[in-house]
Amino acid sequence: EVQLQASGGGMVQAGGSLRLSCRASGFIFENYAIGWFRQGSLKGREGVSCINNRDGDTYYIDSVKGRFTISSDHAKSTVYLQMNNLKYEDADTYYCAAMVPGRSPPPIETMCNPFYNGVDGRGKGTLVTVSS
């Protein structure tokens, strides 16, 4: 059973940093892509950043490029999202999900679509609050 546990959310001032962690269990970590998504009360659900553990390929939504960094620690089966220079619009509930690339893996951008049909599990969210 795919299990994902997200942590690291909190309240920071604009310009501050947070590091989110997504600890995975119940599946072969190296065979999956792991992504961070946010609920998006105004924009709707969106894929923030994803990493394909098979080849290390990464994706970032345009609004976080240069500020967020995704990384994967295979020894700990954990994916991190380092978020720097946080903006008010980054405030949201973030959750992580595991996606199955399949035999013919699509581009990581495709797997980072929150409606990708290869999502195999999703963890509970962690709240990020950004104050001005």
Nearby residues of 114 by Cβ (< 8 Å), 6 or more positions away: 37, 45, 46, 47, 97
Cα separation of 75 and 35, whole Å?
18
With a cut of 90, say whether residue 130 has pLDDT above it: yes
Q: What is the pLDDT of residues 62-84, one digit of tens each?
A: 999 999 999 999 999 999 999 99
Backbone angles phi, psi at 100, to 5 degrees: -90, 115
User: If residue 111 lies in a helix (H) or strand (E), which one and from where to where?
Assistant: helix 108-111
More confident: 51 or 43: 51
pLDDT at 18 (0 to 100): 98
86-111 pLDDT per residue, tens: 999 999 999 999 999 888 889 999 99
